[in-house]
A and B are shown apart, each in its own frame.
Chain A
Amino acid sequence: MLRAAFVTRQAPHGTSLARETQDAILATSALTEELSVFFIGDGVYQLASQQNPQAIACRNFAPTFAMFELYDIENIYVCADSLLERGISDIDLVIDVERLTQPEINQRIRQHAIILNF
Chain B
Amino acid sequence: MSKSITIAVLVTGPAYGSQDALSAYHYVKSAIELGHTIQRVFFYNDGVLNGSTLTSPAADEFDLYNAWIVLAREHLFPLDICSGAALRRGVIDQSEADRIGKNQFNLELPFQLTGLGQLAASIVTADRVIQF
Residues of A at the B interface (CB closer than 8 Å) are 3-4, 16-17, 20, 23-24, 27-28, 30-32, 35, 114, 116-118
Contact, CB under 8 Å: A31 / B121 = yes
Interface of A is mostly: mixed
**Segment from B54-62, B65-73, B91-99, B122-130 that makes contact with A:** B122-130
Contact, CB under 8 Å: A116 / B131 = yes
What A residues does B88 contact at CB under 8 A? Answer: 16
Query: Shortest beta-carbon distance, B39 to chain A, in Å?
Result: 13
Q: How far is the CA of A32 from the CA of B126 in the complex (A)?
A: 13
**A114-B129, A116-B129, A117-B131 known; A30-B120 Cβ under 8 A:** yes
What B residues does A116 contact at CB under 8 A? Answer: 10, 123, 129, 131
Q: Would you give 25 A-B contacts (Cβ < 8 Å), ordered by A?
A: A3-B124, A4-B123, A4-B124, A16-B45, A16-B88, A20-B44, A23-B84, A24-B44, A24-B116, A24-B120, A28-B116, A28-B119, A28-B123, A28-B124, A30-B120, A31-B117, A31-B123, A31-B124, A32-B120, A32-B124, A114-B129, A116-B10, A116-B123, A116-B129, A117-B131
